[in-house]
A = this chain, B = another copy of it.
Amino acid sequence: MTAPIAPLTQMMREYADPAACPVRNVLDHLGDKWSVLIITALAHRPYRFGELRREIADISQRMLTQTLRDLQSDGLIEREVFPTTPPSVEYRLSPMGKSFLVPLSAMVDWAFEHFPAIKEARAEFAKAA
């Protein structure tokens, strides 16, 4: 169990300058409500803007636009405009975006596996308080 934490110590050193910390840059995106959902949707196939809007349902247009721009800026997704009338824009995972599915899936697997224990821990904690 010591092997996995080696990169974590590296993160701590790196954190001396928060803006330069790779981990913070990545995790900030995981934390926001929508990035993971968008990446998840695009893991299946490319989507158009309106399709994503319907797929995710309770995302606002504002946040969808903004999150797509952020993901594009980081190079995780690619944006292709089709100059039809009306215009159509397609989003897809970039190769780097696809590679991100691996650690993301590890997190998702862990979450599913331990969620019952987490719920139980919360109930216990609430009872104790």
Q: CB within 8 Å of B: which of A90-118?
A: 96, 98-112, 114-115, 117-118
Contacts of A104 in B (CB 8 A): 4, 8, 107
A12 close to chain B: CB less than 8 A = yes
B114 touches A110 (CB 8 A): no
A96 touches B114 (CB 8 A): yes
Copy number in the complex reads 2
Number of A residues, CB within 8 Å of B: 60
A44 close to chain B: CB less than 8 A = yes
- Kindly state the separation between the CA atoms of A75 and B44 in the bound complex, as whole angstroms: 33
A8 touches B40 (CB 8 A): yes
Known: A30-B30, A75-B120, A121-B75. A108 touches B8 (CB 8 A): yes
Looking at A18-26, A46-54, A60-68, the stretch in contact with chain B turns out to be A18-26
